[in-house]
Every structure is written in C-alpha cells, then in structure tokens.
Structure 1
C-alpha cells in the first residue's frame, strides 16, 4: 500500500467508526430517554392515586401521611387536573404568576396533551378527572443531548480534517519549494556555459544583432532562475516604478506573440512608485499575459492598463479570448486547476501568492464572458 491508499483507507475507517459510535450513543440515549419518560409516567400515576386516596377517604381517623408525602415530593413535573368537561380544577408546578393568565394555562395544557396521554382519576367510574402533565426540565434537556453530541463529534472530525489538510498543504508546499530551488540550481550550470559562448561569439565578430538577441534570452533565463530561487523565502521589497516593470514584461511577451494579436499598453502617469520585488512581480504580469495569449489562440486584442487611483495602484490585463463562467472565477487560482490540455495549473496560483502574500495586494477576475474575453485586476498599495 502506498501513502495515498493508506490515507484513503484511514479516512474510510475514521468515518465508519464515527458513524458507529454516533449510532450507538444515539440508540442508548433513546433507550434511556424512553425509560426515564416511563418512570415519570409511573410517578404521575402514583401521584394521581395519592390524590384519589385523599379525595375518597371518609375515615377521619385514617392516616393520610403517605398520600401527602407523595404529593409533596412531586414538585418537578408540571401538571394540570381537569374534569370530564375539560374545566381546569388544579394547576401544579407551573409559574404561579404566569398561571394567572388563562391563555398561558391553555397553551401549557395543549403542550401537555401533545407530549403525554392523560391519566384518568375516578371513583367507582364516577366523577372522572384527568391529569395532564409535561416532561420534566431534566427530560427536556436530555432531548438536546444527542444534538450536542453530534455537534461535538462534527467539531472533532473537522479539527482532524483541518489538521490533516494543513499538513498535506505544508508537505506539498515544501515539495514545490524544493523542486523550484533545484530547478534554479540546474539552470545555473548551462547559463554559465552560455555566457562563455556569448563571449566567444563576440570575439569571432558575429553580427551583433544575433548576439544581442541571445543575450536577451540568457538574461531571461537568469531572471527565471532567480524567480525560482526565491520561492519559499520572503522576498525583499524595494521602492520601484511599477510602470517600468509592467512595461518591460509586456514588451518582452508582446514582441514574441502572434502578429495577429493587437497589443496595447496604457499608463495614467509616467511614474508610479510602490514596494515591489521586480523579478516576482514581473513573473505575475507574464503569467497573466501568457494566459491571455493562450486564451486568444493566436488572434485577438490584448490590453494592459496601469492606473494611479486615490488609494491604490490598479493594473488590469484584458483579452478577447474564450472567457470563462463566473463559477470559475475563484477556482482558477487553486493549485493544479487548469483548462489547458498541457500545464500543471500553477501559474495563477503562484501569481496569487506573490501578489497577496508577498506584496499584500489583491488579484482577481474583474469580469469575464464566455466567447468574449476576460479581465484580471491587480490592486497594490502606493508607496
């Protein structure tokens, strides 16, 4: 059995065990509740017998201590005594002030009728009276016990799930961090070699146009290596002009995209300062631009805007691609979620982490319509 199989088996066993425990506790609670309810009825029957004994005892010398003691001890069960016509004769163990209100008494009588069958009190079949009673306060509390138990069990299982899930996320993050740093390390070796080859090409007096393009791509690889090396550690933020950083990322991808894509960059000002990590924020813009270009399948309109608002710096990336339904607005930022045939679904997840965790900003889908396009928005604090 591998780790995944063990985890799945553990989950099934935990859920099954929990269901069995809850079922047993609920069943035992039900049995106890019924037993307690039966004992309360027996108690009321004894009380009714004691009242009958007092009412029918004509011997003045006979002892009535036992019936009186039974009546006095029954002080925790609310009851109402009515005659055959339904007239109320006696009220016991109800609020004495509220009992002055006929509506209150009538309502309590209806509750008693719904909870328990009345106990008949008569003498030789005549002068029939009926004792109605409510469940005691203790019995009422017992009805909520199973609910409280289930809630506690749900809370307990939720804590276990959150603990397991957080451990899994931490383990996954650790794995991705290790892979990113290893990738950065592996890229470093061919980069050093490429720099050497560029020096040789210059010595051989190769056309500078070709050498400059190679240098751009080598610089690009170096930037990628630096980005991967920063994953898992807190990046250093500096006061930077966000216009320059966004425009650089835009120009790099716009020049390498299809000629049938119309690319436009617009900024409200020439300089807008904010605290940024240049390499990581450039990565975010590139991820958004790549997604936009892929969504348009090589033909459409791409627009990037940087605007200085009263409180924030606002960056929007809009395309005329395939768009998405509203239910996917939040899903696309989850690790592993992708609509492409190829890809790991990490670009937008990393972008969200860079913007929100590292730069304390916000990134979200501003609007999208299937078949018409999507607009992403980034909000950052101004310097």
Structure 2
C-alpha cells in the first residue's frame, strides 16, 4: 500500500505537535506542583516560628495576636508536633486517631518521606519537631499528571479507533468499487464474444472449437458473477453443503495436475446451509489453489466435512511447506503473500466471503512442515 507523502508529513507534524502540547502541560503541572510545595513549606516554617514565639510569649503571659492568627489560618495541612518531652500534638487530623500510637508513628514516617521535618529551637534549645504531610489540594495536584495522561491515552485510543474504522470503511468501498468495475469491464467484451461465437457456429468449422469457446465464455461469466457479488451484498439460499463442496472438489480435481492426489471425505450424508453458490465455490477454489501452490504442484489435497454442533466444519488440507504460527492471522490480510507474483488477495477474499457474507468463521486449524489444514465453519439450518 502506498501513502500520500503530504498526508504522511501532516501526520508526523500532528504527532509532534501533540507530543509538544502534552510535554508543556506536564512541565507546567510539575512546575506548579513544585512551587505550591515550596509555598506550603514556607507556611509550615512560619507556623513553626509562630509556635516558638507562642512558647516564649507564654512565659511572659502575653502571647499576642499574630501567633494565634497563624494557628487559626492553618486548616488544611496535616501536622504532628513531637515535643522534647515526647508528648504529641496533632492538627488537621482525625480526632479519633490521636491516641493510636501505631497510627501516629506510621504517619510520622510517611510525613518524613513527603517533607523534611522542621526543628523548632529557641535560644539554642530544641523544643519540638514538626512533621507535616501534603495538603489535600497538593495530593490531588500530584496525581493530576497521571489523570491527564490517562485522559490523553483514552482520547488517543478513541481517535485511533475512529481512523481505523474509517480506514476499514474506505477499504470496503474500494473493494466494492473495484469488484463492480471489474465485472463491468469484463461484461462488455464478454457480450461481444458471445455474438462472435454464435457467428462462428454458422460457419463451416469444427464444432469442437465453438464448444471450447463456450467453456471459456462460461468461465468468464462465472468470474463476472463472482465479482458482481463481491461488490454488493450477495443473496444466500439454502444448499446442501456436502453436495456443493463435492461439486467444487470434482471441478478442481478434473482441472488440476495428475501430480496432485485429491481425496474427499464427509462424516455426514447431507446438511442444509445458507450459501451463495458462486462465492462458496470460489472460496473452496482459492483454498485448494493456495494448497497446490504451497506444494509447488506436487502432493495431496484433502477435503473433509465434519459436523460440530450447530456448525459444520469444512477442512481443506495440503502437504505443503506450512505456515509459521505467528502468521496464522496475518495471511488473511490484503497484500500478504509468499508468492513472487502474487497479489495477496486470495485469502483476504475468502475471509470476507466466509465471515462477512456467510457469518461463518475461517482459521488455520494447524500447520507444520508436513502441511496445513484450513477450517471453514458455517452455521447449519435447523
């Protein structure tokens, strides 16, 4: 698949722009967090100073209004004050945990990891140690970058899903357009060939020649019919899956090399399934031809029909070189092929026919150096 260079450049520019915007938001958030933390540190140092002054003023029986004002304004930062005599005082913490020694010790360790404790000294004498944690606002701000990243990732996932879905829709339109155009282009010379063949029948020529031409015309009509059905929603009718598979098998067997050994085995006599006759035959043909290519024109092709509850499984096996397990799903993508001159559309068409048109399933059942087994599962009519 080729990409428009202009679109590719635009995508790169958008990606870089988005990265720059996200980086700036995260950097600004980190800067704001750091600044807010420094301001909170300064507030705690002022509180410690006020506490020291309050102790000194209490000796003179004149505490003053400023220290008390500082204490009253601090209503958000959790604190633990450990006095020199070992007594503990808490602030902005639940009252019911004040007596819980284990809880207080745990909080002191946590506060020490969040912020460096502040020593309260007076005239060279150590009076107390102040441990404080992050305020509720600071804790929320700390997790803001994570929340922002999650939002951006979610937004990116939504955009990715949108573009992926849009791309798939465009590919489906392209499939339909190409198929209809191919059917249309083949239809014009086909009508002409029919007329010329009828004219040849009136001439004095070998009848076997016109019969062979009719076979080729019939083949072209079948190809045109297939492509016209790919380009639109095909009609499904009730068919016997055993009979339809056997007919496709016999057709391919007669037209394949004698170096290919064919085998057919059905565990059921008959089973009604909703099918599109032309597209189902195309599916079996593609799988068999892929198997023949994998065997390089020499080996065994086997087709087996096995009941499986509400489904019937059609197994197509070959004795080719096998498929790597990592490629089990990739082989159904358009453009994936091991052939030098292949387009990589065969299995992609098969998957579309089975899963989208027949609401069935297709997968690589098993694969090794001894060969590969492909499995089609279709729902049976009950």
Aligned to 2:168: 169
1: CA distance between counterparts of 2:300 and 2:87?
Answer: 85
Shift, 1:51, TM fit: 1.6
Matched residue SS, 2:334: coil
TM-score by length of 2: 0.92
| 1:378 has 2:365 as partner | no
For the structure 1 residues 197 and 266, does the alpha-carbon distance in structure 2 shift closer, same or farther, using more than 3 Å as the test? farther
Q: In 2, distance between residues paired with 1:261 and 1:59? A: 110
TM-score, normalization by structure 1: 0.92
Contact 1:80–1:88 under 8 Å retained in 2: no
Aligned to 1:45: 45
Partners in 1 of 2:206 and 2:194 — Cα distance? Answer: 17
Paired residues, what number? 380
After superposition, where does 1:1-383 map in structure 2 within 5 Å? 4-58=4-58, 62-83=62-83, 87=86, 89-199=88-198, 213-369=212-368, 371-383=369-381
| Deviation of the 1:166 alpha carbon | 3.2
**Counterparts of 2:306 and 2:205 in 1: how far apart (Å)?**
43
1:53-103, Cα deviation, whole Å (9 max, x unpaired): 222214665253332222122121111112458x45222222232343322
Give the stretch that moved more between structures: 134-143 or 197-206. Answer: 197-206
Distance 1:88 1:204, change over 3 A: farther
User: What residue ranges of structure 2 are gaps of 5+ in the alignment?
Assistant: none
Q: 1:196 to 1:266 in 2, by over 3 A?
A: farther
1:222-256 alpha-carbon deviations (Å, 9 max, x no partner): 11101101123211111111112212222222222
Determine helix, strand or coil for the equivalent of 1:127: strand
C-alpha RMSD of matched pairs (Å): 2.3
Q: Secondary structure at the match of 1:323?
A: coil
- SS of aligned partner of 1:57: helix
Partners of 2:102 and 2:285 in 1: how far apart?
Answer: 74
* Cα deviation, residue 174, structure 1: 2.1
Secondary structure (helix, strand or coil) at the match of 1:49 reads: helix
Q: Which segments of 5 or more consecutive residues in structure 1 lack a partner in the other structure?
A: none
Cα distance in 2 for partners of 1:203, 1:292 equals 43
